[in-house]
């Protein structure tokens, strides 16, 4: 099993690279072969990736969330999986390049530096923790994707406004669809963060003696969750749309990203495992 | 190949000349009936606003018509048929023979000979006009096979290249642009300001894409009513168009006016009222109808003729870059058609027939050779060879002596022999 894990560690960046390459060829070069193979290639990559994560969990006897590089692999998988769901839901198949390149970068870094640890703190062996971390990461992956679609929206918006009718204009889906994809990602992200917070609130007090509701990471996540919730509510009630809401989705992601980074580096107390 | 094409198109004559040779369905019927038999064994005519072309297969076996018919005479007949001698001259018409004529027809069908590159509406016109000739019994196996290949060229061009993609007219480009902003036009409504030709065409295309609602505002109310009667939708007062901005998603304006019909303030007010939902406006009026500054308002997309022209130019350039690929398809289909035609010649057919029989003979001899003693084996070879020769003698002679038959009959006979014995299936016409 160890050999298989090692093979997958090397194979995954290559698989992500091929997938990103196929999506790029389909977008920029209109290659018919790439258009046919890109989605099956993505699904195959995700299947290998899922097997890899399960194998690691089984062989090392803990969910792969004990080091930053294990987490990165889960982030890569979350981005890929969240994108696959969005592609399936919206039937828009030509924006994968812009999203999956993130998964490729995360998995490559992970594969280079990942260590095979069998000895970890007992608290990290819980499967509830696995659900908590996975849904949190899926949530963050989804809001990252929403920011990418927000960014693509703004690019196309300005290209149309200024009568530039190049590749961006030709190949991207229409503005309404990009907006819909971005909003859909936010809804996914918000749902997963809800699960992560709920599971966290059930599990954390039981797992840690010195648990505190004032933990910075907990406060940060709840803040991000509330911000997206309020945004979705505002869209529903006030009817915000178009450029404004796309800018908000990018700002919200930037705020989430920086707050989490700062909290992780400077503040986290019990909520830090590596 | 005894094929001749004579015609006139946008390259050889201006519109006022080509329109003189344009033929209605009835005229096409009359003309092909007239040309069938003398000088052609098969013929058909294609006539559109950009071209009128006659394709004819002449019969080399009929007495003095061993030589091709006189091209000038054909041109004169076409001109005389339309009594257009005063404005159309021989110099306006071109002619092509044999594979050049076929290549030309294939190019026409692929859209690279069209006035607007990639416009292959012509394909259905070729089919319709060919049917007229068929109904007059002016077409035969050669032209039927040629039409099949022509259709194949058109189909391959559409599926294997992108020469037909991208809008190249103002009205289509406007609708294409709208589709880049909105995902479902059936949930959107449009306002047409002015009942001019381009505006009307745009409205027609929007209707074709299933626009959810259409409003028409025109200074002369009766014109708006007429347009609404033709296209559906609702006519609104010209003075009310500023109020309408809050309720529609697409605006197409094409009126003649020396001041802006819609100002930036009008749009600002409307955007507030419509909660800043995206508004797409196309201004095809000259001078412009909508204040260009309106484009600075958030979620407003305003484009004038310059923007639309940029789309059209880009698309035309893309279409032009596909021409080499289309030429490849034309060449491939031409080669295949020529192969088919050659396979219907007498000598290759006799050769294929003999090869086929000889193959069967050899296989059977080899299979059974061990049943014969060594001294009888040579005899076996000799006897079977004689049987085959005798069996093939009469068919060979009959095929060779078909000189007095017309090309049409000869082709039919060769076609039957080939399909009966399954000779060179790869060269047979596709079903």
pLDDT computed for residue B325 by the predictor: 94
Q: Chain B residue with minimal CA distance to A32?
A: B160
- Per residue in B251-274, pLDDT (tens digit) is 999 888 888 999 999 999 999 998
Nearest of A225, A208, A222 to residue A269 by alpha carbon: A208
pTM of the model: 0.70
Cβ atoms of residues B5 and B54 within 8 Å: yes
Interface of B with A in 183-242 (CB under 8 A): 183-184
Stated as kind and residue range, the H or E segment containing B317 is helix B305-320
The one catalytic residue in B15, B38, B49, B80 is B49
pLDDT computed for residue B15 by the predictor: 85
> What's the CA gap between A196 and A139, in Å, rounded?
8
| Angle formed at CA B138 by CA B16 and CA B60, multiple of 5 degrees | 100
| Angle formed at CA A76 by CA A70 and CA A77, multiple of 5 degrees | 90
Among B179, B183, B276, the strongest candidate for a mutation testing the A interface, having the largest count of A CBs within 10 A, is B183
- Per residue in A36-51, pLDDT (tens digit) is 999 999 999 999 999 9
Cβ atoms of residues A129 and A65 within 8 Å: yes
Task: Look at strands B40-47 and B189-193 and give their pairing.
Answer: unpaired
Among A30, A159, A163, the strongest candidate for a mutation testing the B interface, having the largest count of B CBs within 10 A, is A163
| A184 to chain B, closest Cα gap in Å | 15
Counting beta carbons within 10 angstroms of the beta carbon of residue A172, is it exposed (0 to 12), middle (13 to 18) or buried (19 or more)? buried
pLDDT computed for residue B402 by the predictor: 67
* Tokens (6 digits) for A109: 């870094």
| B307 to chain A, closest Cα gap in Å | 6
Q: Chain A residue with minimal CA distance to B297?
A: A161
Q: Chain A residue with minimal CA distance to B293?
A: A161
- Per residue in A212-248, pLDDT (tens digit) is 777 777 888 888 888 888 888 888 887 777 888 888 8
pLDDT computed for residue A77 by the predictor: 92
| A243 to chain B, closest Cα gap in Å | 7
Cβ atoms of residues A192 and A136 within 8 Å: yes
- Show residues of chain A in contact with B183, CB under 8 Å: 173-174, 176-177, 180
Cβ atoms of residues A175 and A157 within 8 Å: yes
> What's the CA gap between B422 and A98, in Å, rounded?
55
- What is the SS3 assignment for B66? helix
CB proximity list for A242: less than 8 A, separation 6 or greater: A157, A175, A179, B276, B277, B278, B298, B299
pLDDT computed for residue B410 by the predictor: 74
Residue A118 pLDDT greater than 70, yes or no: no
| B312 to chain A, closest Cα gap in Å | 10
- Show residues of chain A in contact with B301, CB under 8 Å: 160-161
> What's the CA gap between A141 and A1, in Å, rounded?
29
Nearest CB to B180 within list A30, A160, A238: A160
* N- to C-terminal Cα separation, chain B: 22
Mean predicted confidence (pLDDT) in A11-38: 91
Cβ atoms of residues B280 and B304 within 8 Å: no
Give residue A267's pLDDT band: very low, low, confident or very high (50, 70, 90).
low
Nearest CB to B278 within list A169, A175, A240: A175
- Show residues of chain A in contact with B180, CB under 8 Å: 156, 160, 169, 174-175
Q: DSSP for B121-171?
A: THHHHHHHHHHHHHHTT---HHHHHHHHHHHHHHHHHHHH--TT-S--SHH
Residue B298 contacts A, CB cutoff 8 Å: yes
- Show residues of chain A in contact with B275, CB under 8 Å: 238-239, 241
- What is the SS3 assignment for B59? coil
| B284 to chain A, closest Cα gap in Å | 15
Q: DSSP for B111-135?
A: TTTSSSTT--THHHHHHHHHHHHHH
Cβ atoms of residues B341 and B98 within 8 Å: no
Q: Decide if B43 is catalytic.
A: no
Contact across the interface for A243 and B310, Cβ inside 8 Å: no
pLDDT computed for residue B429 by the predictor: 38
Cβ atoms of residues B93 and B8 within 8 Å: yes
* Tokens (6 digits) for A60: 């090392």
- In order of A2, A101, A170, B294, the CA distances from A29 in angstroms are 40, 17, 12, 36
Q: Chain B residue with minimal CA distance to A161?
A: B301
Contact across the interface for A161 and B314, Cβ inside 8 Å: no
B152: left (phi over 0), alpha (psi -120 to 50) or beta: alpha
Helices (H), chain A: 2-28, 32-60, 68-90, 96-113, 127-161, 167-171, 175-207, 216-238, 243-262
Number of C-beta neighbours around residue B220 at 10 A: 11
Contact across the interface for A175 and B277, Cβ inside 8 Å: no
CB proximity list for A53: less than 8 A, separation 6 or greater: A64, A73, A74, A77
DSSP structure class, residue B219: S
Contact across the interface for A163 and B306, Cβ inside 8 Å: yes
Cβ atoms of residues B204 and B177 within 8 Å: no
Q: At what angle do helices B25-35 and B122-135 cross, to 10 degrees?
A: 50
Percent of chain B with pLDDT over 90: 39
- What is the SS3 assignment for A63? coil
| B215 to chain A, closest Cα gap in Å | 23
Q: Chain A residue with minimal CA distance to B281?
A: A161
pLDDT computed for residue B406 by the predictor: 67
| Angle formed at CA A75 by CA A72 and CA A78, multiple of 5 degrees | 155
> What's the CA gap between B230 and B214, in Å, rounded?
12
Question: Which residues pair with residue B56 across a beta bridge?
Answer: B4, B43
Question: Which residues pair with residue B96 across a beta bridge?
Answer: B5
Nearest of A29, A48, A25 to residue A37 by alpha carbon: A25
* Helix/strand/coil percent split, chain B, to 5: 60, 15, 30
* Tokens (6 digits) for B39: 């000088």
pLDDT computed for residue B219 by the predictor: 87
Nearest CB to B275 within list A165, A177, A239: A239
pLDDT computed for residue B147 by the predictor: 94
- Show residues of chain A in contact with B295, CB under 8 Å: 161
- Show residues of chain A in contact with B181, CB under 8 Å: 160, 174-176
pLDDT computed for residue A119 by the predictor: 67
Q: ipTM of the assembly?
A: 0.80
Contact across the interface for B301 and A161, Cβ inside 8 Å: yes
- Which residues of chain B are modeled with pLDDT < 70? 59-67, 402-404, 406-408, 424-431
Nearest CB to A160 within list B183, B298, B301: B301
Nearest CB to A176 within list B182, B298, B310: B182
């Amino acid at each position: 099993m160890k050999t298989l894990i090692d093979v997958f560690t090397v194979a995954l960046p290559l698989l992500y690279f091929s997938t990103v390459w196929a999506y790029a060829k389909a977008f920029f070069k209109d290659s018919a072969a790439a258009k046919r193979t890109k989605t099956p290639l993505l699904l195959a990559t995700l299947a290998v990736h899922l097997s890899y994560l399960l194998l690691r969990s089984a062989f090392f006897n803990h969910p792969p969330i004990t080091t930053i590089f294990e987490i990165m692999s889960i982030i890569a998988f979350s981005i890929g999986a969240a994108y696959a769901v969005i592609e399936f839901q919206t039937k828009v198949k030509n924006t994968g390049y812009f999203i999956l390149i993130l998964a490729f970068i995360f998995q490559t870094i992970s594969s280079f530096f990942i260590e095979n640890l069998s000895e970890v703190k007992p608290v990290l062996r819980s499967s509830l923790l696995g659900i908590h971390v996975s849904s949190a990461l899926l949530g963050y992956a989804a809001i990252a994707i929403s920011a990418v679609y927000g960014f693509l929206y703004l690019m196309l918006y300005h290209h149309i406004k200024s009568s530039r009718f190049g590749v961006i204009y030709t190949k991207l889906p229409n503005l309404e669809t990009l907006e819909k994809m971005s909003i859909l990602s936010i809804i996914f992200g918000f749902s997963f963060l809800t699960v992560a917070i709920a599971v966290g609130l059930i599990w954390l007090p039981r797992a840690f003696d010195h648990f505190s509701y004032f933990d910075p990471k907990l406060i940060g996540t709840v803040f991000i969750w509330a911000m997206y919730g309020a945004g979705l509510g505002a869209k529903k009630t006030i009817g915000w749309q178009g450029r404004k809401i796309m800018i908000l989705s990018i700002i919200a992601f930037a705020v989430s990203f920086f707050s989490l980074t700062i909290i992780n580096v400077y503040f986290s107390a019990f909520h830090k495992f590596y | 190949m005894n094929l001749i094409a004579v015609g006139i198109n946008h390259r050889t004559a201006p519109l006022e000349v080509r329109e003189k040779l344009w033929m209605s369905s009835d005229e096409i019927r009359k003309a092909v009936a007239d040309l069938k038999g003398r000088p052609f064994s098969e013929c058909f005519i294609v006539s559109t606003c950009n071209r009128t072309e006659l394709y004819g297969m002449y019969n080399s076996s009929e007495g003095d018509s061993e030589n091709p018919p006189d091209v000038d005479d054909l041109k004169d007949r076409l001109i005389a048929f339309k009594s257009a001698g005063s404005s159309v001259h021989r110099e306006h018409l071109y002619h092509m023979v044999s594979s050049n004529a076929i290549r030309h027809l294939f190019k026409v069908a692929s859209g690279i000979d069209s006035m607007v590159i990639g416009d292959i509406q012509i394909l259905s016109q070729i089919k319709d006009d060919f049917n007229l000739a068929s109904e007059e019994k002016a077409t035969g196996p050669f032209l039927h096979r040629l039409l099949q290949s022509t259709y194949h060229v058109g189909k391959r061009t559409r599926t294997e290249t992108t020469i037909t993609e991208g809008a190249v007219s103002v009205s289509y480009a406007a609708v294409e642009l709208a589709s880049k902003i909105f995902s479902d036009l059936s949930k959107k409504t449009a306002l047409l300001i002015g009942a001019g030709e381009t505006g009307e065409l745009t409205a027609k295309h929007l209707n074709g894409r299933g626009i959810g609602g259409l409003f028409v505002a025109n200074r002369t109310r009766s014109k708006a009513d007429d347009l609404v009667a033709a296209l559906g939708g609702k006519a609104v007062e010209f003075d009310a168009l500023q109020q309408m901005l809050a309720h529609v998603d697409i605006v197409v304006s094409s009126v003649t006016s020396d001041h802006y019909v819609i100002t930036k303030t009008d749009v600002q007010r409307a955007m507030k009222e419509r909660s800043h939902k995206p508004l797409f406006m196309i201004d095809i009026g000259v001078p412009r109808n909508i204040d260009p500054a309106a484009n600075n308002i958030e979620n407003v997309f305003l484009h004038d003729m310059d923007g639309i022209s940029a789309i059209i130019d880009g698309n035309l350039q893309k279409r032009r870059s596909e021409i080499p690929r289309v030429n490849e398809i034309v060449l491939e289909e031409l080669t295949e058609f020529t192969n088919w035609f050659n396979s219907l010649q007498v000598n290759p057919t006799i050769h294929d027939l003999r090869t086929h029989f000889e193959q069967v003979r050899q296989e059977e001899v080899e299979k059974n050779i061990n049943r014969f003693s060594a001294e009888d084996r040579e005899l076996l070879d000799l006897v079977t060879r004689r049987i085959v020769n005798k069996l093939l003698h009469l068919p060979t002679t009959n095929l060779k002596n078909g000189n007095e038959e017309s090309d049409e009959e000869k082709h039919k006979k060769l076609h039957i022999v080939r399909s009966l014995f399954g000779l060179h299936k790869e060269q047979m016409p596709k079903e």
